[in-house]
Amino acid sequence: MSSALPGVLGNSSVQHYAASMIERLLPLIGWLALSACSANDDVPSPAINSVQPDHAAPGTTVTVSGSYLCQGPRTEIDGDPLACEHVGTVMFDTTPGMVTSYTDSTVLVDVPGLAPGGVSMAVSVAGRSSNRIGFVVQ
């Protein structure tokens, strides 16, 4: 069997076929390699640590404190070292709040007009979502 292998590998049509397949697959392999890596691969998912106050009426501004809320490498934008290239959305269950200020560690957001009761808050930025934290709409 091993004596037949050099004959098969030495066959010019097999070599041509193999070279042709490699030539066809190289763009796909390159695309897969590039798509597997993105700018925020080394950045952990956004995380909410707290919301202050943890209960408020619609229209009230609350402070969401957390980490990795920008979802990008830290860069200084317009002289502000905490400014974000990506600004996320703060969700109160399925309703977005109006963000008034956004940094990598703090978001100021107005509570949307929701019926009183408990909701779950999360931050979504650059295609990634944070953990959820409880909040009470008054």
pLDDT for residue 20 is more than 80: no
CB 76 within 8 A of CB 83: yes
Is pTM, for the whole model, over 0.85? no
DSSP 8-state code for residue 80:
B
pLDDT at 85 (0 to 100): 79
Domain map (residue ranges) of the chain: 4-36, 47-137
DSSP 8-state code for residue 72:
S
Helix (H, G, I), strand (E, B) or coil at 112: coil
Looking at the chain, the whole-number percentage of residues with pLDDT higher than 70 is 67
- Per CATH, the architecture of 47-137 is what? Sandwich (2.60)
Residue pLDDT, tens place only, 96-131? 999 999 989 999 999 999 999 999 999 999 899 999
Q: What are the φ and ψ backbone dihedral angles of 7, each rounded to 5 degrees?
A: -65, -40
Q: Which residue has the higher pLDDT, 96 or 41?
A: 96
Residue pLDDT, tens place only, 61-89? 999 999 999 887 656 656 666 668 788 99
Please report, to the nearest 10 degrees, the dihedral formed by the alpha carbons of residues 5, 9, 10, 15 taken in order. 170
> How many alpha carbons lie under 13 Å from residue 106 in its C-beta half-sphere?
8
